[in-house]
Each structure stands twice: as structure tokens, then as C-alpha cells.
Amino acid sequence: MTGLLLAILPSAISSPAKDTALLSAHLKAVRGEDWLQHDEYRGVQKEYLAWIESRLKAGVNEKSMNRELRMAGLFPRQPNIADSDAMDEMNKSHAGYLEPISVKPVHTAKDVLVIAAGVYKGFGCSLDVTAVIYRRRPLRRLAYLNGDPSDPQYAFYLSGLDVGEENSTGERTVASGWVASNCTSTWNGKRIRIDRLEGSLIKQIFARDLNAQDRDEGENVATRVERDIATFWYQGATRF
């Protein structure tokens, strides 16, 4: 008696897309480094943003993008807080890994889409997030910004961000709040920025570091833009 066995592989485990495979290879090449060099980080960032943009133009949402990145093994392991090795996992190098993509809510300019794309720079809590601003229809990238692009030795993740309506001269006000990546304190460095966006050109016009604590609820640094007025909410220090 002879038998015939047919094995049908589901499409979910098919080979990754070419650009996903290339991104994965480049990330794995720097995996385990203590800290990414500036040119290494910029190379990963450029490729990652191009990867995201190609999916957005194809109508792919962030949930599906994250599924593809997770299947490619590009997210770090999230230890259970009860695990004995949780602290070791938290403090080791996460260079070569990404954070799941998220869409940031924009309160003012409803014609704008903001994507938060995080890349780990190295050891410990080294998550550096890029805020990418798009016009929704037709989809077009306007600009991107980071918490502190001038100093590659630090990593900042995005807290609040708001974009104002386009004024009569075609300019928009962008207000953003950032938090220094830190695993050990709720008094992580905070930074607020105000930028002027004109077409695809973004220019920082104000930046200040804050003595502020993480908030128990809501964003650590919340933002709102109304016309040309930027407002920030945060939990400041109390002096005795």
C-alpha cells in the first residue's frame, strides 16, 4: 500500500518581502553593539522610514506592519516582570531591534498623520523614536524629527505631539514633548520642542529641557497647538 502526503504551507510563513529581508539583515549586522555609531543609526533610520512609507502607500495599517516586523524577529524579547532574568534582559544591548510602530493622535490638524517609529540605539533603555509627519490625502511625507538629533549619545522617545493647521503662508506649528530613555528613574530628562513646518522643510525655533517627573496617567509631556500658540502639560518639580 502506498500513501501520498501533501503538506500545504500557509502563506503566513512564506518568505519575507525583499525589503523586509534587507532591513532584517542590516539590523542583525549591528545587533549586540554597545551603541550605534551616528552613521549606523542614520542608515537604519533611513531604511526603516522608507520601509514604513512603502507600506503606507500600499494601504497597509500599523497593525499589519507590526505583524510583519514581528515575524521577521525585529522586536526585542519582552521579559515577564516576575522572571529572574528580567533585569539582565532590560540592561543588555538592544541595538539591532525596533519598537512596534504606532500612530500618534493629532488634536488640531486632522489632515495630518503622525507615525512614531522607534529604533534601539544600544544598551539598556536606548529607544530613540522618530516622529514622521504625513499629509493624509494625497499621502505625502512632510517631515520627520527626533528629540535631540544633534547629540547621537542620547536616545529620546516621543511623548506628546500636535500639529497646527496650515496658515495663510503655508506654514504649520509643530509642538512635541520628549523623554530621555531611562530604565531606572521616573525623573528622566524631558524636552519640549516647537518647530515651524513649511512644505517639507522643518525648522526648530524653540527647545528647552525640563526638570519634570513621569506622570502616573496620560502622556509624560502632553502638547496642544492652537493657531500659533503651543501649550505643554507636564509634572514639574516641587521645591521646598
Q: What is the pLDDT of residues 206-226, one digit of tens each?
A: 999 998 999 988 899 999 999
Is 86 domain-assigned? Answer: no
| HEC assignment per residue over the chain | CCCCCCCCCCHHHCCCCHHHHHHHHHHHHCCCCCECCHHHHHHHHHHHHHHHHHHHHCCCCHHHHHHHHHHCCCCCCCCCCCCCCHHHHHHCECCCCEEEEEEECCCCCCCEEEEEEEEECEECCCEEEEEEEEECCCCEEEEEECCCCCCCCCCEEEEEEEECCCCCCCEEEEEEEEEECCCCCCCCCEEEEEEEEECCEEEEEEEEEECEECCCCCCCCEEEEECCEEEEECEECCCC
Place 10 in a pLDDT band, splitting at 50, 70 and 90: very low
Q: Which of 4-18, 64-78, 179-193 has the lowest mean pLDDT?
A: 4-18
Mean pLDDT, residues 6-13: 42
What's residue 55's pLDDT?
98
Q: What is the pTM of this model?
A: 0.89
Residue 29 belongs to what domain range?
A: 18-77+92-236
Inter-CA distances, 133 with 141, 211, 224, Å = 6, 28, 16
What's residue 11's pLDDT?
42
Q: What is the pLDDT of residues 79-135, one digit of tens each?
A: 665 555 656 666 789 999 999 999 999 999 999 999 999 999 999 889 999 999 999
What's residue 79's pLDDT?
60
Is 87 domain-assigned? Answer: no
The number of distinct structural domains making up the chain is: 1
Between residues 150 and 68, which one has the greater pLDDT?
68
pLDDT at 1 over 90: no
Is 107 domain-assigned? Answer: yes
Is 73 domain-assigned? Answer: yes
What does the mean pLDDT of the chain come to?
Answer: 89
Between residues 139 and 1, which one has the greater pLDDT?
139
What's residue 147's pLDDT?
94
Q: What is the pLDDT of residues 19-34, one digit of tens each?
A: 999 999 999 999 999 9
Residue 175 and residue 233: Cα distance in Å, rounded?
12
Percentage of residues in the chain having pLDDT higher than 70: 88
Is 137 domain-assigned? Answer: yes
Is 180 domain-assigned? Answer: yes
Between residues 126 and 16, which one has the greater pLDDT?
126
Between residues 48 and 4, which one has the greater pLDDT?
48
Is 97 domain-assigned? Answer: yes
